[in-house]
Amino acid sequence: MKKKIFCTAFVLAFLSASSAFSQTPKSEEKILIAYYSLRNGNTRIAAEHIQKNVGGDIFRIETVQSYPSEYRAVTAQAKKEFDTGAWPDLKTQVKNFENYNVIYLGSPNWWGTIAPAVMRFLSTYDFSGKTIIPFITHEGSRMGQSEADIKKLAPKAELLPGIAIRGRSVNDAGADVENWLRKIGKLK
Ligand SMILES: Cc1cc2nc3c(=O)[nH]c(=O)nc-3n(C[C@H](O)[C@H](O)[C@H](O)COP(=O)(O)O)c2cc1C
């Protein structure tokens, strides 16, 4: 008898641990997929992979001032923005942000973390009680400091494990995205 109770308790503990990633029942999820992408490229494609699987509204984060066209100049400007904390102003606002409770947040990895525009996005809205699920495209650094920095900027949000996708392979990342969504309990 004791053994049976112990086994039941163990199974219950396991089940609750394995469902710890999906606190909002899927039927109550109001999904926003917000992403920044320098030339509306790799990270947009990652956002589209996610939308195919979970639905939701897509929002492109855009800066008022565009970045220079030359790659080195972009990296130099980005470095300056990180060093000074002068993140760029954003062009458009999410309508009825308060209605969303699950936010997939996409960024390219810039200098080992999320792009300054995404830092600005995180500091613009109130993420209290919301779930943030990061997706990062990169060329080798994977997530880097992205998750730690998102946590710093939205301390009252629940942060689920994100995905890092190699930018140059993003077109072929559909299956990886699907597997990741299954793992975190978000596949429809
Ligand atoms: C300013 C800048 C900094 C970057 N820094 C890194 C980096 O530190 N690590 C890395 O793996 N990739 C870095 N990259 C490459 C991008 O993360 C990668 O190409 C990404 O997929 C671009 O996404 P996008 O097309 O959506 O902007 C950097 C790119 C730029 C423009």
With a 6 A CB cut-off, is 113 part of the ligand 1 pocket?
A: no
**Beta strand 102-110 with 163-166: parallel, antiparallel or unpaired?**
unpaired
> Quick one: three-class SS letters along the chain?
CHHHHHHHHHHHHHHHHHCCCCCCCHHHCCEEEEEECCCCCHHHHHHHHHHHHHCCEEEEECECCCCCCCHHHHHHHHHHHHHHCCCCCECCCCCCHHHCCEEEEEEEEECCEECHHHHHHHHHCCCCCCEEEEEEEECCCCCCCHHHHHHHHCCCCEECCCEEEEHHHHHHCHHHHHHHHHHCCCCC
Q: Give tens-digit pLDDT for 82-137.
A: 999 999 999 999 999 999 999 999 999 999 999 999 999 999 999 999 999 999 99
- Give the start-to-end residue ranges of the domains of the chain: 24-183
Asked if residue 23 has pLDDT above 70, the reply is: no
Of residues 83, 72, 91, 93, the one with CA closest to residue 113: 83
With a 6 A CB cut-off, is 68 part of the ligand 1 pocket?
A: no
Query: What's the first-to-final CA gap in the chain, in angstroms?
Result: 39
Atom in ligand 1 nearest the alpha carbon of residue 111: 8
Of residues 122, 88, 125, the one with CA closest to residue 105: 122
**CA dihedral angle for residue 65, residue 136, residue 132, residue 59, rounded to 10 degrees:** 40
Say yes or no: domain 24-183 is CATH 3.40.50.360.
yes
With a 6 A CB cut-off, is 42 part of the ligand 1 pocket?
A: yes
For ligand 1, the distance from its centroid to the CA atom of residue 110, given in whole angstroms, is 5
Task: Output the pLDDT for position 5.
Answer: 46
User: pTM for this structure?
Assistant: 0.90
With a 6 A CB cut-off, is 107 part of the ligand 1 pocket?
A: no
User: Average pLDDT of 21-33?
Assistant: 82
Are the beta carbons of 122 and 154 closer than 8 angstroms?
A: yes
For ligand 1, the distance from its centroid to the CA atom of residue 92, given in whole angstroms, is 23
Q: Give tens-digit pLDDT for 71-82.
A: 999 999 999 999
